[in-house]
Amino acid sequence: MGILWIFLVLVVSFLTWVMGIYNNLVQARETVKKGLVQVDVQLKRRHDLIPNLVEAAKGYMAYEKDTLEKVIKSRQIAVNAVNVQDKIQAENTLTSALRGFMAIAENYPNLKADQHVLRLQEELTSTENKISLARQQYNEEVNRLNVSVQSFPDSIVALKTGFEKAAFFQLEQAEDRQVPQVKF
Amino acid sequence: MTLENFLTFPIIAKIISLIFLCRALIAGKRHWLLDKLPVSKTIGACVGLVKLEGTAETEAPVVSTLTQTRCVYYKWRIDEKWIRYVKETYEEDGRQKTRMVKKEGSDTVASGSDRNLFYLKDEYGVIQIRPNWAKFESRQFFYKSCGPNNPLYYRHATRQEVDGSTHERTFYEDGVALHCPVYIEGYARPRQDIAAAEVISPDDTELFLISTNSKEYHKGRYNSRFWWLSIWGLVFFAGIGNLNWDDFVYLLIWATGWAVLTYNNLISLCQSADQGLANVEVHIKRRHDLVGNLVRVVTALRDFEKEVQKEVTLLRRQLEITKLEGKQESVTACLPAVRAVIEKYPHLKTDAAFLDLQVRIADTEERIALTRTYYNEIATTYNQRLKMVPYRLIARLGNIRTRALIIASDFERATVPARFAE
């Protein structure tokens, strides 16, 4: 009777131990999946954010330029106007064009085109930093899973229950490896 | 039961010895890996299990209680010495007797500690450290013993003295001062709020260390722990004085455990090397995605400025011509405004963007270089292990291969001339 009990205790503790290993493996695998999703979140953020930021900077540049062009054109008209009626009208156009220009200059003294661009550069960099951090975190999670899958005795449980090593982040295209050409 | 009886008592001693063995194997596990990892910089390979060196910096330091030192962590304690006479019963000639025994000791009458989130700064940048649960190895700020004549005596503790006090209090304080060089072992992960990493407590809190000692001081610490625990295990297994054949069972179990541990350690070192290489790829991908965009943005700004300058010049010339002709009185009404427009573009501003671009490209390459260095260091450690006895045998059993280092191609080794003319 005593021997049977000892046997039973041994079997139960063995099963609990194996279960623990299995659960750890499951957790590691799920964390790797989460890591991949986190990278996707950052990639999606980049996809949604960057074109809009570029558009905003571009739009601002166009606005600044257009206003300036309008000032020049209406001044030209005012200069060339012959009769009083034309002159008054041209003067009004010029005044409103200038007012538009001064409005940007006064309301956003710091938000000029170059500021827009500097901010865009900062945002581009921090976006890429976020992506690379998420990828490094993914690599860390892959590391944990792979160590569990390969190290003894977890490897036996992993083999029996079909756990596999995950792949680290790797460059898919050879061109990604090229040093980007900085040319103006 | 005497100690010798206890040690020779078979089952308990053997269970204790196995517990020692387990502790030894656990001590060897992740600590061994940490021992082998190279020191990271705050940019580059800085996610996962990391070792960092730098100085402790913060905008909101805590101020220590005893010495008013500005620091990121401190703990203080006041001990008071006492002498007490205690009644003790003893047996003599089969009769119970009592006597008074003098006992000395000390009690802590006051203590405290505080820590705050801080930043580790190295030559490349800063990284946030959340020191909750960290084990500190700090530097002594203050140590002094004094009597009640000293005004310090009552300053930080109650006037009430302990039973049997000798009226001598000892003040201790130590901590990690602001700007103090620190060495950190911990787990880094990306921050939620900004694009940066932070060091937090890993699952195994024993691995989070903030120390004012250098990294050399901590090197090999876990190795000695492993050997001491193993030897204690053997002592418990064998007992004292009588070494039997079955003691070799312990050695056999120990040897198997060691082989498994070594194999597992090699696996984790190998994975860390692969991870290092994958992190290099991450940074190369970052360069590919980032630099092209930055260049395009700066180009766009340059083109824009060129156009605007052209227009401003036009406006300026227009102004001069009309002024010379002197017949456009009505237009002069707008002169101040037009002048303001011209003054708004005194010179080109693209230079700031170009400077910024240079800094960012340099930073990108720095990150790649740092991750490559990290990989090369860890791969070298790993390759060395694989060639050493007895790791060599285990590596052959487990079919573990060496990893190639990252080296420069020949064209990259040549000097780089700064060419301006095409």
Distance CA B57, CA A123 (A): 26
Q: Is B313 helix (H, G, I), strand (E, B) or coil?
A: helix
Kindly report the nearest CA distance between residue B215 and chain A, in angstroms.
Answer: 23
Q: For residues A111 and B188, which has the higher predicted lDDT (pLDDT)?
A: B188
Give the SS3 label for residue B348.
coil
pLDDT at B72 over 60: yes
Write out chain A residues lying below 8 Å of B300, CB-based. 57-58, 61, 117
Please answer yes or no on whether B286 and A132 come within 8 Å at the CB atom.
yes
Whether the CB of B251 is below 8 Å from some CB of chain A: the reply is no
Q: B285 and chain A: CB distance < 8 Å anywhere?
A: yes
Strands (E), B245-403: none
B264 vs A152: CB contact, 8 Å cut-off?
yes
Q: Please name the residues in contact with B292: beta carbons below 8 A apart, sequence gap of 6 or more.
A: A180
Residue B1 clears pLDDT 50, i.e. is over it? no
Query: Are the beta carbons of B278 and A139 separated by less than 8 Å?
Result: yes
Asked whether residue A12 carries a pLDDT value surpassing 90, the answer given is: yes
pLDDT in tens, B99-112: 888 888 888 888 88
Confidence of residue B193 (pLDDT cuts 50, 70, 90): confident
- Contacts of residue A143 in chain B, CB cutoff 8 Å? 48, 268, 271-272, 274-275
Please, are residues B74 and B174 in contact by the beta-carbon 8 Å criterion?
yes
- Residue from A68, A106, A105, A108 nearest B313 by CA: A68
- Please name every residue paired with B136 in a beta bridge, in sequence order, or none if there are none: B210
Please check the confidence at residue A112 and state whether its pLDDT lies above 70. Answer: no
Cβ(B377)–Cβ(B383) below 8 Å: no
Confidence band for A14, pLDDT divided at 50, 70 and 90: very high
Residue A99: the pLDDT is 72
Long-range residue pairs from A8-16, CB within 8 A, at least 24 positions apart, any chain: none
Task: Report the range of poorest mean pLDDT among B233-242, B282-291, B355-364.
Answer: B233-242
* Mean pLDDT of the region A96-105: 68
Helices B10-36 and B221-238 cross at an angle (nearest 10°) of 170
Does the domain formed by A2-177 have CATH 3.30.160.270? no
Query: In 3D, which of B277, B260, B278 has the Cα closest to residue B32?
Result: B260
For residue A86, the chain B residue with the least C-alpha distance is B330
The model carries a pTM of 0.81
Q: How far apart are alpha carbons B234 and B228 in whole angstroms? A: 10
Is the Cβ pair A132, B312 closer than 8 Å?
A: no
pLDDT of residue A104: 61
Does B375 have pLDDT greater than 80? yes
pLDDT band at B380 (very low <50, low <70, confident <90, very high): very high
Q: How confident is the model at residue A37 (pLDDT cuts 50, 70, 90)?
A: very high
> Minimal Cα–Cα distance from B333 to chain A, Å?
9
Least confident range of A46-55, A173-182, B165-174: A173-182
Q: How close A173 comes to chain B (CA, Å)?
A: 10
Residue B215 reports pLDDT greater than 70: yes
Over residues B273-322, the pLDDT tens digits come to: 999 999 998 998 888 888 888 888 888 888 887 887 777 777 777 766 66
> Span B360-372, mean pLDDT?
90
- Domain locations in chain A as residue ranges: 2-177
Cis omega (within 30 of 0) on the bond before B390?
yes
CB B76 within 8 A of CB B111: yes
Option in A68, A129, A180 nearest B311 (CB): A68
pLDDT score for B390: 80
- Give which of B162, B124, B115, B159 is closest to B45, Cα–Cα: B124
Residue B292 in contact with residue A183, Cβ under 8 Å? Answer: no
Contact (CB<8Å) B352/A118: yes
3-state percent breakdown (helix, strand, coil) of chain A, nearest 5? 85, 0, 15
Report DSSP letters for A144-178, one per residue.
HHHHHHHSTTHHHHHHHTT--PPPPP---SGGGGS
Per-residue pLDDT, averaged over A50-77, amounts to: 78
What pLDDT is attached to residue B308?
77
Span between the terminal Cα atoms of chain B, in Å? 92
pLDDT at B191 over 60: yes
What is the overall mean pLDDT for chain B?
81
- Name residue B129's beta-bridge partners: B118, B199
> Would you call A133 and B195 a contact, using CB atoms and an 8 Å cutoff?
yes
Is any Cβ of chain A less than 8 angstroms from the Cβ of B294?
A: yes
Task: Return the pLDDT at B322.
Answer: 61
Lowest mean pLDDT among B31-40, B113-122, B343-352, B396-405: B343-352
Q: Does residue A171 sit at the B interface (CB-CB below 8 Å)?
A: yes
Query: What is the structure's pLDDT at A10?
Result: 92
Distance from the B330 Cα atom to the nearest Cα atom in chain A, whole angstroms: 8
Look at the alpha carbons of B365, B369, B371, B375 in this order and tell me if their dihedral is positive or negative: positive
The token duo for B345 is 């573009």
* Whether B286 contacts B371, CB under 8 Å: no
- For residue B159, what are its two tokens? 């006037």
- Angle of the A2-80 helix axis to the A113-150 helix axis, nearest 10: 160
The CA-to-CA distance between both ends of chain A, in Å, stands at 88
Percent of chain A surpassing pLDDT 90: 17
Closest chain B residue by Cα to residue A50 = B293
pLDDT of residue A142: 93
Q: Please, which pLDDT band fits residue B376 given cuts at 50, 70 and 90?
A: very high
The number of helices, as runs of H, and strands, as runs of E, in chain A is 4, 0
- pLDDT exceeds 80 at position A97: no
Q: Do B337 and A98 touch (CB under 8 A)?
A: yes
Q: Residue window 106-145, chain A: list those with CB within 8 Å of chain B.
A: 112-114, 117-118, 120-121, 124-137, 139-140, 142-143
At A77, is the pLDDT very low, low, confident or very high (cuts 50, 70, 90)?
confident
**Is A17 an 8 Å CB contact of chain B?**
no
What per-residue string of b and e applies to A38-56 under the rule 16 or more CB within 10 Å gives b? bbeebbeebeeebeebbee
Residues contacting residue B272 through CB under 8 Å, at least 6 positions apart: A143, B33, B37, B49, B378, B382
- What percent of chain B shows pLDDT beyond 70? 84
Interface pTM, i.e. ipTM: 0.80
pLDDT band at B341 (very low <50, low <70, confident <90, very high): low
The position carrying tokens 């220009």 is A101
